Structure 1
Amino acid sequence: MRYRQLATGTLALGVLLLIDVLRVWLPGIITIFGQAASTPAELMGAFALVWFLLALGAPAVVRRVGARPVTVVAAVALAVARLTLTAAPGGRTQLWLATAGLLAGLVWLVGVAADTDRPVPGLALGFAVNAALHAVLDTVDLVWRGDWVGWLLSSVAVVVFLVGTAQPGRRTGSGDAVPAGPGGTRAWLLAGPALLLAGMVALSPALARTGMSYLVAGDGVARSPLFGLAPVPVAVAGFLCAALTRPPRRWGRAYGPVVVLAGAVLFALDRGDLLVPAVLLTAVGLGACLALSDDASRPAGDGTNASRPAGDGTNASHPGGDTANAGAGAARRGYAVAAGMLVFALGAVGYYSAYDLGYPNAAVPVVVAVLVAAVAFTARPVVHRLPGPFPPLRAAAAVTALALLAPVLADEVPVASNRDGPPERLTVVAYNIRMGFGLDGRFDLRGLAEVVDRQRPDVVLLSEVDRAWLLNGGHDTLDLLADRLGMPYVFGPAADPVWGDAVLSRWPVRDPRTLPLAAVGAPTGAQALAVTLDLGDGVRTAVVSTHLQPPPGRGPVVQARAVADFATRYAAGRPLVVAGDLNTEPGDEAFAAFTNAGLLDALAAARPLATSPADDPRQQIDHVFVSPGLTPSDPVAPRSTASDHLPVAVTLTLPPR
């Protein structure tokens, strides 16, 4: 029992540390190694894949050197990289530390696979603990928390992981200290695809909260939800119960594959109101598929040959055959986990690079779910399990209890109020926040909040808002920033339901509408989000947030005209503000589309007012346009490197009442 718990716990902790490293490494591809929309997606994809391809050589190293030395060395390297990343060094140092940690984690997985033929409990608990902890931390990773809590929890996890790894003896994931059998290949093969589906859909707290925000009004526009993390404990409990209990027999085994496919299809439909059922279905289905893959080539806790099913290719009278069979099984498991993690990389790169290359990506999660379902459904049924509750179920209850804390502890954004009556002025800030990552590649919520809050804004318009992309670490950047600013939000989806533009306001927001914009060859989807600020006593102002996407080699003229027409029709004679990253400069045809519609350049008094790149601004591409009834003053682009753009701010005097 001690070895079973030790092996399961150590594997779960290692998975937790590896996911932490991935949450730093994946955003580093586009924020440090390259620049999205400027560095070729093919080059960034090649950089991502090469490390997973290198890991395919790890099984040969394990076979030559031995599993234990490789596992111990790789575990130490993973632990050191993970703990060092807690210091959040930023820049190239951060990227290469994360890369070293990733490669070490992949090699560690291969080494563990050689000695573990029942990995499902450890993998499932690792995925679930990561999701529960991420939810309790409000989707901010421990890596980005430089306080004592971050250091303490990171240090404890690393120390316990290393102590567990250092314990002598070969262990299976299910029994005593005995040589691992030949099974477990299917379960290890699913480690990578399961990690991808868990991070993208099933166990993503940010996606669950984003889905809840679409259910507030049910009109396709997301709003600040109450108890937005409520689906997380349900998903965690469903996933663990399905993964750690005996699967049904005969055709009942199909429920897991069918449910995981249904969840992946709902996610692929790109509808915000379907995100919550997608999360819950994928979580339960994924757990059930892992349980099906838990191939028991021998009864748990029994190291004898007599208990193996007949016809498995071993000979009880020839111990040497057992050794050879175990060695072949170790090699198969090593190659299986390396190949599975390559599937993770291919799926992640294939899905997210579509936003730069312009091809449909909805099939990627469905194809991965088909792979998971096929591997699970065709697995050999489990021959025998220990009587009574599966021991990790007790840990599952503890993990679910941890996840239950998330909706209780989560900060809820206060409701906007106009109790002071209509103001005379409004301060507007428009900011492209680049998913929350600064120029140094660090997730810099504090820097974003500080530069915005210094302007004392009444309304904030945000571009490049990411609410759950695994590629960017799986954060709900919008909700996190709204919490820090104390401003409720309205979100308009652009590329998909979790990427787009937002409006944060200290005043109540009415009648939100969103207009999808024609792509006209641009790499990423675009939209225009219109809202009405209720300033009290019948005074209302229209605000439109957008992020224009220029086609290759041209300006965003078509989109600019569409936004100008949509905004003026929506305002219907009321004061109007249109702002965002418009990717056009004064004098360009797209810029003229707004002035020709009768709007004024609210930043004209400060021209030239360059906003990009943030460390050496040369381009004037972030703008605020207003209707003639609004009088702009004090336009500014405050310096900050919390994004690759500078924000623009301006104070607008309202027309006399």
Structure 2
Amino acid sequence: MELTFGVIGLLFLFADIRTFASTFQQTFFGAPTTQQALMATAVFLTSFLGLIVAWRLGPRRALGASAAVFVAATFLLTASRNNWTDLALSVVALAGGFWWLAFFHTSRTPDGLSPLARAFPLALAADLALRATFRTEAVVDLPWAVAIGIVVVGSLVFAAAGLIVIGVPRQWMTPGPRGLVGLLVIPCLILVAETGATNGAQAAIAAGLGLGPEPVRATQIGSLVLGLGIAAGALVLMRYPARGLAAAIAVAAGAALLWLHLPYASLAGGTILAGGVAAASVALLGAPLRAATSPRAVVAVLSFGWLLFVGTAFGFYAFWANLPAVLAATALVVLGAAAAPTAMRLGPLIAIATAVVAIGGPLAAFIATPVTAEPEPARVTFRLMTYNIHQGYDAGQIPSLDVLADTIARESPDVICLQEVVRGWMIDDQQDALSFLAERLNMRYAFLPNIGDLYGNAILSRFPMDDVRRVHYALEPGIKHQPRGVLIAKTGEVTIACTHLDELSDGTFVRQEQVRTIIRAAGDTTPLIVAGDLNATPGDIEVRLLGEFGLDDLGAAAGDTTTGEEPPKRIDYIWGRGVVGAQAHTLAVEDAKKASDHRALIVNITRQK
């Protein structure tokens, strides 16, 4: 029962971390970086309140109370579909999860063994399998009835296991100094998993897959490769005890190969990293425990570990996929694992179960992925859509991948230009919006990563795609301007340029230079279409530059494209030359709000002879 209690609790904790990160990002995007950092840090400081809970309640009641708060908040978070409510509940769920993790490790039976060391690899495998099964959609973001059903079952099993666990005498126990060092870096281990070791899209793109033009399956391949790594790590631990130094070497070598972005070699790096993370979790959590008078050391060390987590995670995501922040977290894990004492083996049943889950889930998802239809012959007339999908969230900041897919499908576009495409960030619930939409729409895609490897623009098409170019705009000084670019591809015998210009209200000069970059890249190409979110209104200089370049405003008749502006604005465009546009239109505002914070712009395009 302790293993079940640990695995489900860790799965809830992983999910709550993502939900908090995504709701926090969606709610406070655009706020001063320092203010965001202070607010996020304040949330993770709630871990220290576990000292008061433990002092007041003792080993059994502290574990039971923290588990109750944890599971209740997680269930309510799943049931909620309101951004502010989600944010508040995720804070409560995280606090309860922090306390539960510390107390479950330190509130022990007299045998002094922590089940977390055995539960962690299985939880990593189950988390990877769940995300592969649901096409990277988080369980809490699935259709309401499905999400509630899954979480109700998980909560009931968690509660039943918890009642059995706290039904036996328990006492406070603590590891020695080397074991405490291991606990300190456990939160960083979670970040290393989120950004690489269990992130299928990252492993695939680092190896050169998932950029296109190609059909769907890159993320599924990445997840399968990572599952093989976790399985290998678990099976090795069935035969040999967890040695921290070996795990540290695997994590360091795997991370280096992954982040070097080497064709195919980075896939191998992901495998090694995943196996190293699985082994490191056992080494870091498997140190012997001895009797203690209080859980102060464990709670305090884990709390400082959560501050390291929020610092490195914030340093990565707030500073536009700042790789040194993840490498810093990786280095802490390597140092912690190298210092860890030799720990236990995994029992055969646990090791085999971990391997089966780690491989079985991604393999089943890979096999079940439908084969993308062969490209259709180019037609003289086709339907083009440009759509800022708001990272897969609706206007109320609630995940909306299913609604997005249905919304796009109803318009039956032949070519789609997408902006704000996320492919596996923790701050976006780890969802791969491009893979999800391409599979649902049965279309091939090309992708331009602008921020790190997992955020950018994409073109989906029913026609053959070639001559793909990825042009990055000049980086602006400071961090307030996002890295951006233009994705150019020839499809349907028309060259399409998909872009998303700088969003700052005082960024007109930046946007003008970005448009000039498009003009230089396009040259005298014809027929040509430039489509995307220009973050500027029709009278602005940056928009007029496209007209001066000889392009026609094909979507002018559609009108405004925003959903939350008062008054509404027109900032999404389709410009072209050598083509004629007809029947330009957008979505009704109320329908559009259910899918994104923009309205899709759709135009029927006819090539001129």
Tell me by how many angstroms 1:198 deviates: 0.8
CA distance in 1, matches of 2:348, 2:51: 31
Distance 1:272 1:502, change over 3 A: farther
Match of 2:305 in 1: 340
Displacement of 1:361: 1.6
Residue 210 of structure 1, CA deviation = 4.3
* Cα distance in 1, alignment partners of residues 147 and 472 from structure 2: 40
Task: Judge conservation of contact 1:121–1:243 (CA < 8 Å) in 2.
Answer: no
**Counterparts of residues 121-140 of structure 1 (less than 5 Å):** 121-140=118-137
> How many Å separate the matches in 2 of 1:30 and 1:452?
25
1:546 is paired with a residue whose SS is strand
Q: Which residue of 1 aligns with 2:106?
A: 114
Partner of 1:287: 278
Distance 1:13 1:474 in 2: 19
**Quick one: distance in 1 between partners of 2:273 and 2:216?**
22
Instruction: Label 1:271 to 1:605 Cα distance change in 2 as closer, same or farther (>3 A).
Output: farther
Measure the CA separation in 2 of the matches of 1:65 and 1:177.
12
**Correspondence 1:423 to 2:416:** no
Deviations 1:283-335 (A, max 9, x none): 1222232333345437xxxxxxxxxxxxxxxxxxxxxxx7xx4225x322222
Match of residue 505 from structure 1: 461
- What corresponds to 2:536 in structure 1? 584
Q: Are 1:195 and 2:153 counterparts?
A: no
Show the counterpart of 1:205. Answer: 200
Q: What is the CA-CA distance between 1:149 and the residue it aligns to?
A: 4.1
Looking at structure 1, the residues matched to 73 and 331 of structure 2 have their Cα atoms a distance apart, in angstroms, of: 34
Q: Is the 8 A contact 1:88 1:146 kept in 2?
A: no
Residues 91 and 22 of structure 1: is their aligned pair in 2 closer, same or farther, counting only changes over 3 Å? same
TM-score between both structures, scaled by the size of structure 2: 0.90
Map 1:93-108 to 2 at 5 A. Answer: 93-108=85-100
Q: 1:616 offset after TM fit, Å?
A: 4.8
- Would you say the 8 A contact 2:380–2:606 is kept in 1? yes
Q: Secondary structure at the match of 2:293?
A: helix
Structure 1 residues 343 and 223, CA gap change in structure 2 (3 angstroms): farther
Q: Percent of pairs identical after alignment? A: 25
Distance 1:13 1:362 in 2: 31
Distance 1:186 1:412 in 2: 46
Distance 1:615 1:81, change over 3 A: farther
In structure 2, relative to structure 1, the CA distance for the partners of 1:245 and 1:69 (3 Å cut) is farther
Q: Deviations over 1:450-478 (max 9, x none)?
A: 32222221100000100011111111110
The 8 Å contact of residues 232 and 355 in structure 2, kept in 1 or not, is answered as: no
Instruction: Call closer, same or farther: CA 1:617–1:469 in 2, change over 3 Å.
Output: farther
CA apart distance, 1:148: 4.6
Q: Deviations over 1:490-527 (max 9, x none)?
A: 11111122111000111111221111111224521111
Alignment map for 1:248-327 (pairs within 5 Å): 254-269=245-260, 275-297=266-288, 325-327=291-293
**1:244 Cα deviation from its structure 2 partner:** 5.9
Matching of residue 633 in structure 1 with residue 591 in structure 2:
no
Match of 2:353 in 1: 395
Q: Does 2:14 correspond to 1:19?
A: yes
Partner of 2:490: 532
Q: Distance in 2 between matches of 1:272 and 1:79?
A: 42
- Equivalence for 1:601: 553
Letter of the 1:566 partner, please give it.
A
Task: Find the counterpart in structure 1 of residue 143 from structure 2.
Answer: 146
Q: Please report how far the alpha carbon of residue 170 of structure 1 lies from its aligned counterpart in structure 2 after TM superposition.
A: 7.9
Structure 2 unaligned runs (5+)? none
Deviation at 1:179, TM superposition (A): 6.6
3-state SS of 2:475 partner: coil
Q: How many Å separate the matches in 2 of 1:23 and 1:620? A: 33
Q: Which of 77, 80, 83 is matched with 1:85 structurally?
A: 77
One-letter identity of the residue aligned with 1:21: D
How far apart, in 1, do the equivalents of 2:568 and 2:42 lie? 35
CA distance in 1, matches of 2:335, 2:481: 33
Amino acid aligned to 1:367: A
What amino acid is aligned across from residue 451 of structure 1 in structure 2? T
Inter-partner Cα distance in structure 1 for 2:324 and 2:231? 27
Question: What SS does the corresponding residue of 2:523 show, helix, strand or coil?
Answer: helix
The secondary structure found in structure 2 opposite 1:230 is helix
- Equivalent residues of 2:582, 2:605 under 8 A apart: yes
Are the structure 2 counterparts of residues 242 and 562 from structure 1 closer, same or farther at C-alpha, using a change threshold of 3 Å? Answer: farther
Q: 1:275 and 1:67, CA in 2 relative to 1: closer, same or farther beyond 3 A?
A: farther
SS for the counterpart of 1:454 is helix
CA distance in 2, matches of 1:518, 1:127: 39
Deviations 1:615-649 (A, max 9, x none): 6562222111101x211112222130121222111
Whose helix fraction is larger, Structure 1's or Structure 2's?
Answer: 2
Maintained 8 Å contact 2:107/2:173:
yes
The Cα shift of 1:548 comes to 1.4
TM-score, scaled to structure 1: 0.83
Partners of 1:51 and 1:650 in 2: CA distance: 46
Contact 2:242 2:279 in 1 (8 A): no
Q: Quick check: 1:125–1:396 contact (8 Å CA) kept in 2?
A: yes
Give deviations 1:388-440, integer Å, cap 9, x for gaps.
9455224323423533444445423523432xx54231211111111101122
Task: Tell me the equivalent position of 1:649.
Answer: 602
Aligned match for 1:380, one of 334, 338, 341: 341
Instruction: Read off the aligned partner of 1:644 and give its amino acid letter.
Output: D
Note if contact 1:14-1:161 (Cα within 8 Å) is conserved in structure 2. yes
C-alpha separation in 1, matches of 2:127 and 2:228: 15
Describe how 1:451-490 pairs up with structure 2 within 5 A. 451-490=407-446
Confirm whether residue 351 of structure 1 aligns to residue 316 of structure 2. yes
| Equivalent in the alignment of 2:25 | 30
CA distance in 1, matches of 2:158, 2:317: 32
Q: What SS does the corresponding residue of 2:450 show, helix, strand or coil?
A: strand
Deviates more, 1:434-443 or 1:616-625: 616-625
- Which one-letter code corresponds to 1:365 in the other structure? V
Tell me, what secondary structure is at the counterpart of 2:313?
helix
State the Cα distance separating 1:532 from its structure 2 match: 1.0
Contact 1:582 1:622 in 2 (8 A): yes
1:396 corresponds to which letter in structure 2?
A: T
What letter is aligned with 2:574? V
Match of 1:618 in 2: 568
Give 2:37's aligned residue.
45
SS of the equivalent of 1:513 reads strand
Is 1:156 equivalent to 2:153 in the alignment? yes
2:240 is matched with 246
Give RMSD over aligned pairs: 2.7
1:427-438 mapped onto 2 (5 Å cutoff): 427-438=383-394
1:57 counterpart letter in structure 2: L
How far is the alpha carbon of 1:575 from its aligned partner? 1.0
User: Alignment partner for residue 163 of structure 2, among 143, 162, 166?
Assistant: 166
Separation in structure 2 between the aligned mates of residue 270 and residue 465 of structure 1, nearest angstrom: 20
Stretch deviating more after TM superposition (130-139 or 338-347): 338-347
CA contact (8 A) 2:120 2:278 kept: no
Distance in 1 between residues matched to 2:486 and 2:534, nearest whole Å: 11
User: Cα offset for 1:208?
Assistant: 3.8
Show CA shifts across 1:183-220 (max 9, x none): 443443232111111111101234345456x337xxx6
Deviation at 1:16, TM superposition (A): 0.5
- 1:367 maps to which of 323, 328, 333: 328
Offset from partner CA, 1:106-155 (integer Å, 9 cap, x none): 12122212225533112222222111211122111211122654333222
> What is the letter of the counterpart of residue 83 of structure 1?
F
Give the Å deviation of 1:563.
0.9
**In the TM superposition, what whole-angstrom CA distance separates every residue of 1:249-308 from its partner, at most 9, and x where no partner exists?**
7xxx5332223123333444567866533422321222232333345437xxxxxxxxxx
Instruction: Return the alpha-carbon distance in structure 1 between the equivalents of residues 575 and 441 of structure 2.
Output: 24
- Structure index of larger Rg: 1
Distance across 2 between alignment mates of 1:248 and 1:101: 31
Residue 349 of structure 1 and its aligned partner are, at CA, apart by: 1.2
Q: CA deviation at 1:543?
A: 0.8
CA shift, 1:343, in A, is 1.9
